[in-house]
């Protein structure tokens, strides 16, 4: 709905800029043009409502010589761009309220699909009993969902770069809801597993498209607070899922399937917000709409968006999207950042099974109250919000420094501050704290407070990794993030299944100690990249290098 209104609003903005007699004037003289820009829909502001290529036409056989006998034929293609730096159609010029609303909607989608990944873990004993399978087998309902995430993330990005963000968010949400409903109605274990895989596959959209949506709306300084707004609002899904489903299996609802019905209801609310409130933010698609409106107003078919004259077919885009992420597996930055996120996600998702051993078995609390304990991690994910203002000031100083050197863009290393300000060290500390105070003789509040520190660390590292990769790889950021996403969810999905045997055989103390030791090896990573990141990027084939 918002996209439909946005499309038709472009007609009024075109008439406002070009004048109400645009239909009459185009018969005698083309619309005003401005200097050409090399990147008509890049992150930088593009000047020019329409841009004329007077000496060449974009034809399949290459440029043609201008026909001096017919001035209209000598300008076969008029490329449509933004009407100056203040063009209201440019998402960067949306009102602050509209940009925040759109960012929060993207966060709500991430919250929904993240919560759905974990709701089944809250009712694992009841589901396994009904399907006559072991708890380990039923934990596959969470693992297979995460594996679906991994494969869906690979194909989601190119679709959003062809059809636009909003239609992909909306259509995948509909399919996600259908498969979640199917999971709620699954007659047997096999059906549940298949349906959960496809729910995860179609729920993966915000994992790779959210970064693009943020970049559509906010400039590099604004992303310092805009990306945390998205992350804080959306990252809590996996730990809120068990909380939302805490008592559905044995409370007044008395049916474990309500874990999926809750996700379905939430999906309906989020889908409504996408349809009625979320505007399109992808610049190339908006410029395509603008070109269509100019053609409708003028009857002149020469007006085209650069997106429309591109020779990159859908098959070509899919080929690049499927191959390039894995080509970038040789990048040291990507390997290390993907490893970092994978380790943290393995810890987080094995908690879905491990909290039973950490809290229920040790302290004798109920299954429902054990799931409520995930709120400790969620509270921790809110704490990086306290760091936004000081990090924004640091980023502001860095921008002033690079501009004094004649450069325009921030050094990617400034994005590492969330990890350096306690984010990386808090992970192993929290795991050791939780593991060695997990005794019935120690207050339950001790591991709970430790889980809050874990929540702070994992979101801080998420912000560090994503913002650093986006700024380091620029035009290749989507491919880089696709690989990071694929690796962390594929391995997390596998490790979720082995979580129960691991806790049973090794015990909570040593299980958490092993995880703490692995994460401790990665603690220096933000500091290493802050010190030598520019040198490391200089050896990369794809990363941007600031000099």
| Residue 21 confidence (pLDDT) | 55
Compute φ and ψ for 471, nearest 5 degrees: -75, -30
> Among the residues of 420-524, which ranges form H helices?
424-436, 445-473, 477-506, 508-520
DSSP per-residue codes, 218-244:
--TTTHHHHHHHHHHHHTTHHHHHHHH
- Banded model confidence at residue 58, pLDDT cuts 50, 70, 90: very low
Q: Note the pLDDT of residue 55.
A: 28
Q: What is the mean pLDDT of the chain?
A: 82
User: Which of 381, 153, 324, 177 lies closest to 262, judged by CA?
Assistant: 177
Task: For residue 425, count other CB atoms closer than 10 A to its CB.
Answer: 18
Answer with the residue of higher pLDDT: 219 or 35.
Answer: 219
Provide the pLDDT for residue 470.
86
Give the side-chain half-sphere CA count within 13 A for 181: 11
The confidence score (pLDDT) of residue 338 equals 87
Q: What is the largest CA-CA distance in the chain?
A: 94
* DSSP-derived secondary structure letter, 33: B
CB burial of 218-243 (b: ≥16 within 10 Å; e: otherwise) equals bebeebbebbbbbbbbbbbbbbbbbb
Pairwise CA distance, residues 308 & 329, whole Å: 32
Domains, in order of start, for the chain: 2-89+282-305 (no CATH), 95-278+315-538 (1.20.1250.20)
Task: Give 350-381 pLDDT, tens digit per residue.
Answer: 887 788 899 988 999 988 888 899 999 999 99
pLDDT at 38: 34
Q: What is the pLDDT of residue 427?
A: 93
> Which residues make beta-bridge pairs with 33?
50
Find all residues with CB under 8 Å of 547, minimum gap 6, and list them: none
What pLDDT, in 10s, does the model give residues 259-306?
899 999 999 999 999 999 999 998 888 888 888 888 888 887 888 888
At 480, the pLDDT band (50, 70, 90 cuts) reads confident
Q: Which residue has the tokens 């998205």?
A: 230
Which of 4-18, 54-68, 163-177, 293-307 has the lowest average pLDDT? Answer: 54-68
Q: Binning pLDDT at 50, 70 and 90, where does residue 488 land?
A: confident
327 pLDDT exceeds 60? yes
Percent of the chain beyond pLDDT 70?
Answer: 85
- The two structure tokens encoding residue 186: 């699954």
Predicted confidence (pLDDT) at residue 314 exceeds the cutoff of 50: yes
More confident residue, 48 or 399: 399
Mean pLDDT to the nearest integer, 426-450: 93
Q: Are 189 and 183 in contact (CB under 8 A)?
A: no
Residue (of 132, 91, 139) closest to 352 by Cα position: 139
pLDDT higher than 80, residue 103? yes
Spatial CA neighbour of 137 closest among 154, 150, 120: 120
Closest CA to 262 of 166, 103, 118: 118
**What pLDDT score was predicted for residue 41?**
33
pLDDT of amino acid 243: 87
| pLDDT above 70 (res 190) | yes
pLDDT value at residue 28: 41
Encode burial over 320-336: b for 16+ CB neighbours within 10 A, e otherwise: ebeebbeebeebebbeb
Q: Of 14-23, 382-391, 482-491, 522-531, which range is least confident?
A: 14-23
Burial of 167: CB neighbours in 10 Å, binned 0-12, 13-18, 19+: middle
CA distance 56 to 69: 15
pLDDT category of residue 15 using cuts at 50, 70 and 90? low
Residues 231-256 have pLDDT tens digits of 998 888 888 888 888 877 666 667 88
Exposed, middle or buried, 101 (CB in 10 Å: 0-12/13-18/19+)?
Answer: middle
pTM (predicted TM-score): 0.84
Per-residue model confidence (pLDDT) at position 187: 92
Quickly state the pLDDT bin for 97 (edges 50, 70, 90): very high
User: Which of the pair, 365 or 48, is modelled with greater confidence?
Assistant: 365
């Amino acid at each position: 709905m918002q996209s439909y209104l946005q499309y038709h609003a472009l007609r009024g903005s075109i008439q406002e800029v070009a004048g109400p007699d645009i239909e009459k004037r185009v018969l005698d003289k083309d619309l005003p043009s401005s200097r050409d820009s090399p990147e008509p829909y890049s992150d930088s502001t593009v000047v020019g409502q329409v841009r004329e290529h007077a000496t060449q036409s974009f034809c399949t056989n290459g440029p043609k010589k201008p026909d001096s006998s017919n001035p209209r034929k000598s300008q076969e293609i008029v490329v449509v761009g933004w009407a100056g730096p203040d063009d209201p159609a440019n998402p960067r010029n949306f009102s602050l309220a509209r940009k925040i609303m759109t960012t929060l909607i993207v966060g709500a989608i991430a919250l929904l699909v993240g919560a759905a990944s974990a709701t089944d873990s809250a009712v694992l004993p009841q589901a396994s009993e009904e399907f006559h399978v072991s708890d380990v087998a039923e934990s596959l309902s969470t693992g297979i969902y995460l594996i679906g995430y991994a494969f869906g993330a690979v194909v989601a990005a190119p679709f959003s770069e062809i059809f636009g963000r909003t239609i992909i968010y909306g259509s995948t949400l509909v399919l996600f809801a259908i498969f979640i409903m199917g999971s709620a109605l699954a007659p047997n274990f096999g059906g549940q597993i298949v349906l959960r895989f496809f729910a995860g596959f179609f729920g993966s959209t915000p994992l790779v498209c959210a970064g693009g949506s943020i970049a559509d709306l906010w400039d590099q300084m604004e992303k310092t607070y805009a990306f945390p707004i998205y992350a804080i609002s959306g990252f809590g899904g996996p730990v809120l899922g068990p909380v939302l489903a805490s008592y559905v299996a044995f409370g007044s609802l008395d049916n474990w399937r309500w874990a999926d019905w809750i996700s379905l209801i939430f999906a309906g609310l989020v889908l409504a917000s996408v349809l009625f409130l979320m505007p399109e933010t992808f610049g190339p698609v908006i410029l395509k709409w603008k070109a269509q409106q100019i053609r409708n107003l003028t009857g002149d078919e020469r007006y085209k968006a650069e997106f429309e004259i591109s020779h990159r077919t859908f098959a070509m885009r899919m080929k690049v999207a499927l191959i390039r992420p894995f080509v970038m597996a040789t990048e040291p930055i990507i390997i290390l950042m993907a490893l970092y996120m994978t380790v943290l996600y393995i810890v987080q998702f094995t908690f879905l099974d491990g909290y039973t051993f950490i809290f229920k078995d040790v302290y004798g609390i109920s299954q429902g109250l054990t799931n409520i304990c995930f709120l400790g991690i969620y509270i921790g994910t809110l704490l990086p919000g306290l760091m936004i203002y000081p990090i924004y000031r640091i980023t502001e100083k860095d921008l002033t420094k690079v501009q004094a050197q004649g450069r325009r863009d921030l050094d990617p290393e400034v994005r590492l501050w969330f990890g350096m300000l306690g984010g990386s060290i808090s992970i192993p500390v929290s795991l050791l704290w939780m593991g060695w105070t997990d005794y019935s003789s120690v207050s339950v509040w001790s591991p709970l407070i430790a889980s809050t520190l874990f929540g702070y660390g994992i979101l801080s590292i998420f912000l560090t990794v994503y913002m650093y990769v986006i700024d380091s790889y620029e035009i290749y950021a989507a491919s880089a993030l696709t690989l990071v996403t694929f690796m962390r969810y594929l391995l997390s999905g596998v490790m979720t299944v082995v979580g129960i045997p691991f806790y049973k055989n090794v015990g909570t103390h040593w299980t958490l100690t092993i995880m703490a030791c692995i994460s401790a090896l990665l603690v220096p990573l933000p500091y290493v990249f802050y010190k030598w990141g520019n040198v490391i990027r200089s050896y990369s084939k794809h990363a941007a290098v600031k000099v």
